Amino acid sequence: MPQVKNWQLNREMEYAYQENRPQRQFAAVFNLNRCIGCQTCTMACKSTWTFSPGQEYMWWNNVESKPYGGFPFGWDVKLLEMLGEQPWNGSTYEGKTVFEAREPAKQTASGMIALGFLPGDEDWRHPNIYEDTSKGHNPKGESLPEHQNWGFYLPRICNHCTYPACLAACPRKAIYKRQEDGIVLIDQSRCRGYRKCMEACPYKKPMYRGTTATSEKCVGCYPRIEQGQATRCIATCIGKIRLFGFINDPASPVHYLVHKAKVALPLYPQFGTEPNIYYIPPRWVPRDYLAQMFGPGVEPAIASYTQADKELLGVLQLFGATDRIIHSYKIDGEEAVGMDEKGVEVVRTAINEKVQVRPADRHNIT
Ligand code: SF4
Ligand code: SF4
Protein backbone atom coordinates (compact mmCIF):
# COMPACT_ATOMS: atom_id res chain seq x y z
CA MET A 1 0.00 0.00 0.00
CA PRO A 2 1.21 3.58 -0.63
CA GLN A 3 2.70 5.53 2.26
CA VAL A 4 1.00 8.86 3.02
CA LYS A 5 1.72 11.61 5.55
CA ASN A 6 -0.76 11.89 8.42
CA TRP A 7 0.05 15.05 10.41
CA GLN A 8 -2.23 14.00 13.29
CA LEU A 9 0.00 10.96 13.86
CA ASN A 10 3.23 12.85 13.11
CA ARG A 11 4.31 10.07 10.77
CA GLU A 12 3.67 8.30 7.52
CA MET A 13 1.15 5.47 7.33
CA GLU A 14 -0.34 2.99 4.87
CA TYR A 15 -3.36 3.99 2.81
CA ALA A 16 -5.08 2.47 -0.21
CA TYR A 17 -4.33 5.42 -2.51
CA GLN A 18 -1.61 8.01 -3.00
CA GLU A 19 -1.84 11.23 -1.00
CA ASN A 20 -4.14 13.64 -2.85
CA ARG A 21 -5.19 16.53 -0.65
CA PRO A 22 -8.06 18.68 -1.91
CA GLN A 23 -7.66 22.38 -2.73
CA ARG A 24 -9.78 23.19 0.32
CA GLN A 25 -10.73 20.86 3.15
CA PHE A 26 -14.17 20.96 4.83
CA ALA A 27 -13.59 21.23 8.60
CA ALA A 28 -15.25 22.38 11.80
CA VAL A 29 -14.46 22.86 15.46
CA PHE A 30 -16.96 21.70 18.09
CA ASN A 31 -16.51 23.10 21.60
CA LEU A 32 -17.55 20.31 23.99
CA ASN A 33 -17.52 22.69 26.95
CA ARG A 34 -20.59 24.34 25.50
CA CYS A 35 -22.79 21.54 24.11
CA ILE A 36 -26.08 21.24 26.04
CA GLY A 37 -27.33 18.08 24.32
CA CYS A 38 -30.44 19.80 22.95
CA GLN A 39 -30.33 17.81 19.67
CA THR A 40 -31.31 20.83 17.59
CA CYS A 41 -28.44 19.96 15.24
CA THR A 42 -29.71 16.39 14.98
CA MET A 43 -33.23 17.47 14.06
CA ALA A 44 -31.99 20.15 11.65
CA CYS A 45 -30.07 17.48 9.79
CA LYS A 46 -32.88 14.94 9.89
CA SER A 47 -35.50 17.38 8.63
CA THR A 48 -33.19 18.39 5.78
CA TRP A 49 -31.75 15.09 4.56
CA THR A 50 -33.14 11.90 6.15
CA PHE A 51 -36.92 12.24 6.54
CA SER A 52 -37.93 9.76 3.81
CA PRO A 53 -38.98 6.08 3.91
CA GLY A 54 -36.00 3.82 4.56
CA GLN A 55 -34.13 6.54 6.45
CA GLU A 56 -35.87 6.07 9.81
CA TYR A 57 -32.73 4.91 11.63
CA MET A 58 -30.43 7.37 9.91
CA TRP A 59 -28.97 10.12 12.05
CA TRP A 60 -26.13 11.65 10.04
CA ASN A 61 -25.70 14.08 12.93
CA ASN A 62 -26.06 12.49 16.35
CA VAL A 63 -25.23 13.68 19.87
CA GLU A 64 -24.32 10.93 22.31
CA SER A 65 -23.80 11.07 26.09
CA LYS A 66 -20.30 9.97 26.96
CA PRO A 67 -18.89 7.77 28.41
CA TYR A 68 -21.73 5.24 27.96
CA GLY A 69 -23.74 6.36 24.94
CA GLY A 70 -22.99 5.74 21.31
CA PHE A 71 -24.66 5.56 17.92
CA PRO A 72 -24.51 2.87 16.72
CA PHE A 73 -24.19 1.31 20.15
CA GLY A 74 -20.57 0.74 21.21
CA TRP A 75 -19.14 1.99 17.90
CA ASP A 76 -15.92 3.27 19.46
CA VAL A 77 -15.46 0.81 22.32
CA LYS A 78 -15.65 -2.20 19.99
CA LEU A 79 -13.07 -0.82 17.58
CA LEU A 80 -10.73 0.35 20.34
CA GLU A 81 -10.75 -3.21 21.72
CA MET A 82 -10.06 -4.65 18.26
CA LEU A 83 -7.19 -2.21 17.74
CA GLY A 84 -5.41 -3.20 20.96
CA GLU A 85 -2.70 -1.04 22.51
CA GLN A 86 -2.54 2.49 21.09
CA PRO A 87 0.76 3.95 22.34
CA TRP A 88 1.97 7.49 21.66
CA ASN A 89 5.56 8.66 21.99
CA GLY A 90 5.12 12.37 22.49
CA SER A 91 3.19 13.56 19.45
CA THR A 92 4.05 10.45 17.39
CA TYR A 93 1.61 7.56 17.26
CA GLU A 94 3.42 4.25 17.58
CA GLY A 95 0.42 1.92 17.48
CA LYS A 96 -1.43 0.67 14.42
CA THR A 97 -4.08 2.55 12.46
CA VAL A 98 -7.18 0.76 11.14
CA PHE A 99 -5.38 0.45 7.79
CA GLU A 100 -2.25 -1.05 9.34
CA ALA A 101 -4.16 -3.37 11.69
CA ARG A 102 -6.37 -4.97 9.05
CA GLU A 103 -6.17 -8.71 8.70
CA PRO A 104 -4.21 -9.41 5.48
CA ALA A 105 -6.10 -12.64 4.80
CA LYS A 106 -9.37 -10.76 4.86
CA GLN A 107 -8.05 -8.15 2.48
CA THR A 108 -8.03 -10.62 -0.38
CA ALA A 109 -10.91 -12.79 0.78
CA SER A 110 -13.50 -10.08 1.24
CA GLY A 111 -11.94 -6.85 0.06
CA MET A 112 -11.40 -5.70 3.64
CA ILE A 113 -9.03 -2.75 3.49
CA ALA A 114 -9.32 -1.62 7.09
CA LEU A 115 -9.94 -3.14 10.49
CA GLY A 116 -13.63 -2.79 11.20
CA PHE A 117 -16.98 -4.43 11.87
CA LEU A 118 -20.61 -4.19 10.80
CA PRO A 119 -22.91 -3.11 13.64
CA GLY A 120 -25.96 -5.32 14.19
CA ASP A 121 -29.47 -4.06 13.41
CA GLU A 122 -30.22 -3.59 17.11
CA ASP A 123 -27.18 -1.33 17.50
CA TRP A 124 -28.83 1.31 15.28
CA ARG A 125 -32.17 1.31 17.15
CA HIS A 126 -31.37 3.55 20.12
CA PRO A 127 -29.62 6.68 18.88
CA ASN A 128 -29.57 8.35 22.29
CA ILE A 129 -29.14 5.38 24.60
CA TYR A 130 -27.72 6.31 28.05
CA GLU A 131 -28.69 9.94 27.52
CA ASP A 132 -27.47 12.04 30.47
CA THR A 133 -25.99 9.01 32.25
CA SER A 134 -22.90 10.24 34.04
CA LYS A 135 -19.90 8.26 35.19
CA GLY A 136 -20.02 8.03 38.95
CA HIS A 137 -17.11 7.82 41.34
CA ASN A 138 -13.79 8.47 39.76
CA PRO A 139 -11.64 5.57 41.04
CA LYS A 140 -8.48 7.65 41.06
CA GLY A 141 -10.22 10.04 43.37
CA GLU A 142 -9.37 13.12 41.36
CA SER A 143 -10.71 16.41 42.61
CA LEU A 144 -11.33 19.61 40.72
CA PRO A 145 -10.60 20.63 38.02
CA GLU A 146 -11.75 17.09 37.12
CA HIS A 147 -15.20 16.22 38.44
CA GLN A 148 -15.92 13.18 40.62
CA ASN A 149 -19.10 12.52 38.60
CA TRP A 150 -18.69 13.34 34.98
CA GLY A 151 -20.20 13.03 31.55
CA PHE A 152 -20.39 15.10 28.40
CA TYR A 153 -22.23 15.35 25.12
CA LEU A 154 -20.35 14.32 21.99
CA PRO A 155 -21.93 15.65 18.77
CA ARG A 156 -20.79 13.70 15.72
CA ILE A 157 -21.06 14.00 11.96
CA CYS A 158 -19.01 12.45 9.16
CA ASN A 159 -15.45 13.74 9.50
CA HIS A 160 -14.91 14.12 5.74
CA CYS A 161 -11.60 12.46 6.43
CA THR A 162 -8.42 13.20 4.50
CA TYR A 163 -7.92 9.43 4.22
CA PRO A 164 -11.49 8.08 4.28
CA ALA A 165 -11.74 4.41 5.20
CA CYS A 166 -15.18 4.34 3.56
CA LEU A 167 -13.71 5.43 0.23
CA ALA A 168 -10.78 3.02 0.48
CA ALA A 169 -13.09 0.09 1.22
CA CYS A 170 -15.63 0.57 -1.56
CA PRO A 171 -15.23 -2.18 -4.18
CA ARG A 172 -17.42 -0.20 -6.62
CA LYS A 173 -15.34 3.00 -6.31
CA ALA A 174 -18.65 4.72 -5.64
CA ILE A 175 -17.20 7.02 -2.95
CA TYR A 176 -15.23 10.10 -3.89
CA LYS A 177 -13.71 13.15 -2.25
CA ARG A 178 -14.34 16.51 -3.90
CA GLN A 179 -11.26 18.52 -4.85
CA GLU A 180 -13.00 21.86 -4.30
CA ASP A 181 -13.92 21.32 -0.62
CA GLY A 182 -12.86 17.83 0.49
CA ILE A 183 -16.45 16.68 1.07
CA VAL A 184 -16.77 12.88 0.84
CA LEU A 185 -19.81 11.68 -1.13
CA ILE A 186 -21.35 8.36 -2.18
CA ASP A 187 -22.37 8.21 -5.85
CA GLN A 188 -25.82 6.65 -5.51
CA SER A 189 -25.82 5.42 -9.11
CA ARG A 190 -22.66 3.35 -8.52
CA CYS A 191 -23.42 2.07 -5.00
CA ARG A 192 -24.74 -1.51 -4.78
CA GLY A 193 -25.20 -1.55 -1.00
CA TYR A 194 -22.35 -3.96 -0.16
CA ARG A 195 -21.83 -1.96 3.07
CA LYS A 196 -18.04 -2.20 2.95
CA CYS A 197 -18.01 1.52 3.80
CA MET A 198 -20.07 0.87 6.94
CA GLU A 199 -17.72 -1.90 7.96
CA ALA A 200 -14.56 0.12 7.37
CA CYS A 201 -15.55 3.58 8.62
CA PRO A 202 -14.22 3.70 12.19
CA TYR A 203 -16.81 6.38 13.05
CA LYS A 204 -19.71 4.35 11.58
CA LYS A 205 -21.06 7.25 9.59
CA PRO A 206 -22.22 5.57 6.35
CA MET A 207 -25.72 4.12 6.87
CA TYR A 208 -27.72 1.57 4.89
CA ARG A 209 -31.07 2.36 3.32
CA GLY A 210 -33.21 -0.71 2.76
CA THR A 211 -35.67 0.93 0.36
CA THR A 212 -32.95 1.74 -2.18
CA ALA A 213 -30.41 -0.96 -1.20
CA THR A 214 -27.67 1.65 -1.11
CA SER A 215 -25.54 3.30 1.55
CA GLU A 216 -25.93 6.98 2.36
CA LYS A 217 -23.97 9.40 4.48
CA CYS A 218 -23.60 13.01 5.54
CA VAL A 219 -23.20 15.12 2.41
CA GLY A 220 -21.61 18.04 4.25
CA CYS A 221 -24.62 20.17 3.18
CA TYR A 222 -22.64 20.74 -0.03
CA PRO A 223 -25.35 22.90 -1.66
CA ARG A 224 -25.01 25.32 1.27
CA ILE A 225 -21.19 25.22 1.25
CA GLU A 226 -21.26 26.13 -2.44
CA GLN A 227 -23.31 29.22 -1.53
CA GLY A 228 -20.95 30.32 1.26
CA GLN A 229 -23.20 29.06 4.06
CA ALA A 230 -22.24 26.77 6.93
CA THR A 231 -23.97 23.38 7.22
CA ARG A 232 -27.43 23.07 8.80
CA CYS A 233 -26.14 21.42 11.98
CA ILE A 234 -23.60 24.21 12.43
CA ALA A 235 -25.91 27.10 11.56
CA THR A 236 -28.71 25.96 13.88
CA CYS A 237 -26.63 25.06 16.95
CA ILE A 238 -28.32 26.52 20.00
CA GLY A 239 -25.22 26.32 22.18
CA LYS A 240 -23.08 28.10 19.55
CA ILE A 241 -20.53 25.34 19.94
CA ARG A 242 -19.69 24.95 16.24
CA LEU A 243 -17.51 26.87 13.81
CA PHE A 244 -17.07 25.93 10.15
CA GLY A 245 -13.98 26.62 8.05
CA PHE A 246 -11.42 25.27 5.61
CA ILE A 247 -8.60 23.75 7.65
CA ASN A 248 -5.90 24.22 5.00
CA ASP A 249 -6.49 27.98 4.67
CA PRO A 250 -4.06 29.71 7.08
CA ALA A 251 -6.43 32.71 7.38
CA SER A 252 -9.34 30.56 8.61
CA PRO A 253 -10.31 30.72 12.29
CA VAL A 254 -10.56 26.93 12.21
CA HIS A 255 -6.92 26.73 11.09
CA TYR A 256 -6.01 29.07 13.93
CA LEU A 257 -7.82 26.94 16.55
CA VAL A 258 -6.24 23.67 15.38
CA HIS A 259 -2.75 24.65 14.24
CA LYS A 260 -1.88 27.84 16.15
CA ALA A 261 -3.82 27.92 19.43
CA LYS A 262 -3.81 24.07 19.38
CA VAL A 263 -7.00 24.13 21.39
CA ALA A 264 -9.03 21.80 19.13
CA LEU A 265 -8.18 18.13 18.57
CA PRO A 266 -9.25 15.32 16.20
CA LEU A 267 -11.53 12.52 17.43
CA TYR A 268 -9.60 9.26 17.83
CA PRO A 269 -6.68 10.33 15.64
CA GLN A 270 -5.15 6.87 16.15
CA PHE A 271 -7.72 5.39 13.75
CA GLY A 272 -5.63 7.01 11.00
CA THR A 273 -8.22 8.56 8.70
CA GLU A 274 -7.14 12.15 9.56
CA PRO A 275 -10.67 13.26 10.51
CA ASN A 276 -11.58 16.92 9.94
CA ILE A 277 -14.02 17.62 12.77
CA TYR A 278 -12.00 18.95 15.71
CA TYR A 279 -13.06 19.15 19.36
CA ILE A 280 -12.20 21.46 22.22
CA PRO A 281 -12.09 18.86 25.03
CA PRO A 282 -14.39 19.25 28.08
CA ARG A 283 -12.22 20.49 30.88
CA TRP A 284 -13.87 18.62 33.78
CA VAL A 285 -13.35 15.09 32.40
CA PRO A 286 -10.55 12.74 33.59
CA ARG A 287 -7.52 13.29 31.41
CA ASP A 288 -6.77 9.64 30.66
CA TYR A 289 -10.24 9.24 29.12
CA LEU A 290 -9.76 12.38 27.03
CA ALA A 291 -6.25 11.35 25.99
CA GLN A 292 -7.53 8.09 24.54
CA MET A 293 -10.27 9.99 22.68
CA PHE A 294 -8.33 13.01 21.44
CA GLY A 295 -4.65 12.05 21.59
CA PRO A 296 -1.67 13.58 23.35
CA GLY A 297 -2.67 17.22 22.86
CA VAL A 298 -5.34 17.22 25.58
CA GLU A 299 -3.43 18.88 28.44
CA PRO A 300 -2.04 21.78 26.34
CA ALA A 301 -5.45 22.23 24.67
CA ILE A 302 -7.25 22.56 28.02
CA ALA A 303 -4.51 24.86 29.34
CA SER A 304 -4.82 27.06 26.25
CA TYR A 305 -8.62 27.12 26.54
CA THR A 306 -8.73 27.97 30.23
CA GLN A 307 -6.11 30.73 29.90
CA ALA A 308 -7.44 32.13 26.63
CA ASP A 309 -5.76 35.28 25.33
CA LYS A 310 -7.62 38.04 23.54
CA GLU A 311 -7.29 36.46 20.08
CA LEU A 312 -8.62 33.11 21.27
CA LEU A 313 -11.48 34.75 23.17
CA GLY A 314 -12.35 36.69 20.01
CA VAL A 315 -12.36 33.59 17.81
CA LEU A 316 -14.47 31.73 20.38
CA GLN A 317 -17.04 34.53 20.10
CA LEU A 318 -17.33 33.90 16.35
CA PHE A 319 -18.83 30.43 17.01
CA GLY A 320 -22.48 30.53 15.96
CA ALA A 321 -22.34 34.27 15.30
CA THR A 322 -23.39 33.95 11.64
CA ASP A 323 -24.58 31.26 9.25
CA ARG A 324 -22.11 32.53 6.61
CA ILE A 325 -18.76 30.76 6.21
CA ILE A 326 -16.03 32.81 7.91
CA HIS A 327 -12.93 32.57 5.69
CA SER A 328 -10.79 35.01 7.67
CA TYR A 329 -11.02 37.04 10.86
CA LYS A 330 -9.38 39.92 12.70
CA ILE A 331 -9.40 41.36 16.18
CA ASP A 332 -10.47 45.01 15.92
CA GLY A 333 -10.08 46.70 19.31
CA GLU A 334 -12.57 45.00 21.61
CA GLU A 335 -14.41 43.26 18.79
CA ALA A 336 -13.90 40.10 16.72
CA VAL A 337 -14.69 40.42 13.02
CA GLY A 338 -15.38 37.63 10.51
CA MET A 339 -15.00 38.01 6.75
CA ASP A 340 -16.29 36.04 3.77
CA GLU A 341 -14.23 34.71 0.86
CA LYS A 342 -13.95 38.17 -0.70
CA GLY A 343 -12.82 39.77 2.55
CA VAL A 344 -16.21 41.41 3.11
CA GLU A 345 -17.26 41.68 6.76
CA VAL A 346 -20.09 39.26 7.58
CA VAL A 347 -20.11 39.45 11.37
CA ARG A 348 -18.78 41.68 14.16
CA THR A 349 -19.14 40.79 17.82
CA ALA A 350 -17.86 42.04 21.18
CA ILE A 351 -15.04 39.96 22.65
CA ASN A 352 -16.27 40.54 26.19
CA GLU A 353 -20.02 40.75 26.45
CA LYS A 354 -21.30 43.62 28.55
CA VAL A 355 -22.30 42.75 32.08
CA GLN A 356 -25.70 44.13 33.00
CA VAL A 357 -26.21 44.58 36.73
CA ARG A 358 -29.84 44.50 37.75
CA PRO A 359 -30.73 47.58 39.84
CA ALA A 360 -31.73 46.96 43.44
CA ASP A 361 -35.37 47.89 42.84
CA ARG A 362 -35.59 45.09 40.26
CA HIS A 363 -34.34 42.29 42.53
CA ASN A 364 -36.77 39.40 42.69
CA ILE A 365 -36.64 39.29 46.47
CA THR A 366 -39.77 39.89 48.47
S1 SF4 B 1 -16.05 9.63 8.95
FE2 SF4 B 1 -16.34 7.63 7.97
S3 SF4 B 1 -17.88 8.04 6.37
FE4 SF4 B 1 -16.97 10.01 6.93
S5 SF4 B 1 -15.25 10.29 5.46
FE6 SF4 B 1 -14.41 9.40 7.37
S7 SF4 B 1 -14.37 7.18 6.92
FE8 SF4 B 1 -15.80 8.11 5.43
S1 SF4 C 1 -27.45 22.03 18.63
FE2 SF4 C 1 -25.39 22.49 19.45
S3 SF4 C 1 -25.72 22.55 21.70
FE4 SF4 C 1 -27.51 21.48 20.83
S5 SF4 C 1 -26.88 19.29 20.87
FE6 SF4 C 1 -26.30 20.08 18.84
S7 SF4 C 1 -24.11 20.62 19.08
FE8 SF4 C 1 -24.99 20.47 21.19
Q: How far is the CA of 63 from the centre of ligand 2 (A)?
A: 7
Going by alpha carbons, the residue nearest to atom 4 of ligand 2 is 38
For residue 77, the model assigns a pLDDT of 98
Distance from C-alpha of 9 to C-alpha of 28, rounded to nearest angstrom: 19
pLDDT tens profile 12-52: 999 999 999 999 999 999 999 999 999 999 999 999 999 99
Give exposure, 39-48, as e/b (b: 16+ Cβ within 10 Å). Answer: bbbbebbbeb
Q: Is the pLDDT of residue 267 over 50?
A: yes
Encoded amino acid at 69, one letter: G
Q: Is the pLDDT of residue 139 over 90?
A: no
Whether 272 is in the pocket of ligand 2, judged by its Cβ within 6 Å, is: no
Q: How far is the CA of 170 from the centre of ligand 1 (A)?
A: 12
Q: How far is the CA of 293 from the centre of ligand 2 (A)?
A: 19
Q: Which atom of ligand 1 is nearest to the CA of 159?
A: 1
The pLDDT of 272-294, averaged and rounded, is 97
Distance from C-alpha of 128 to C-alpha of 76, rounded to nearest angstrom: 15
Q: How far is the CA of 112 from the centre of ligand 2 (A)?
A: 35
Distance from C-alpha of 101 to C-alpha of 330, rounded to nearest angstrom: 44
Nearest ligand to the CA of 160 is 1
Nearest ligand to the CA of 37 is 2
Most confident among 49-53, 138-142, 148-152 (mean pLDDT): 49-53
Calculated CA dihedral for residues 159, 165, 168, 170, nearest 10 degrees: -90
The pLDDT of 42-63, averaged and rounded, is 98
Going by alpha carbons, the residue nearest to atom 4 of ligand 1 is 158
Q: How far is the CA of 53 from the centre of ligand 1 (A)?
A: 23
> Average per-residue pLDDT in the chain?
95
What's the order of all strands across the beta sheet hosting 242-246? 242-246, 26-31, 277-280, 265-266
For the beta carbon of residue 336, count every other beta carbon within 10 angstroms.
Answer: 25
> Mutation test of ligand 2: which of 32, 36, 62 has the most ligand atoms closer than 8 Å to its C-beta?
36
Domains located in the chain, CATH noted: 3-306 (3.30.70.20)
**Phi and psi torsions of 264, nearest 5°:** -120, 135
Nearest ligand to the CA of 44 is 2
pLDDT tens profile 212-232: 999 999 999 999 999 999 999
For residue 108, the model assigns a pLDDT of 46
265-266 vs 277-280, strand pairing mode: antiparallel
Q: Is the pLDDT of residue 211 over 90?
A: yes
DSSP string, 189-239: TT-----HHHHH-TT---EEETTTTEEE---TTHHHHTTTB--HHHHT-TT
Whether 182 is in the pocket of ligand 1, judged by its Cβ within 6 Å, is: no
Q: How far is the CA of 360 from the centre of ligand 1 (A)?
A: 55
Nearest ligand to the CA of 28 is 2
**Phi and psi torsions of 216, nearest 5°:** -130, 160
User: Is the separation of the CB atoms in 95 and 86 below 8 Å?
Assistant: yes
Give exposure, 216-254, as e/b (b: 16+ Cβ within 10 Å). Answer: bbbbbbbebbeeebbbbbbbbbebbbbbbbbbbbeebbb
Q: How far is the CA of 32 from the centre of ligand 2 (A)?
A: 9
Distance from C-alpha of 196 to C-alpha of 173, rounded to nearest angstrom: 11
Whether 201 is in the pocket of ligand 2, judged by its Cβ within 6 Å, is: no
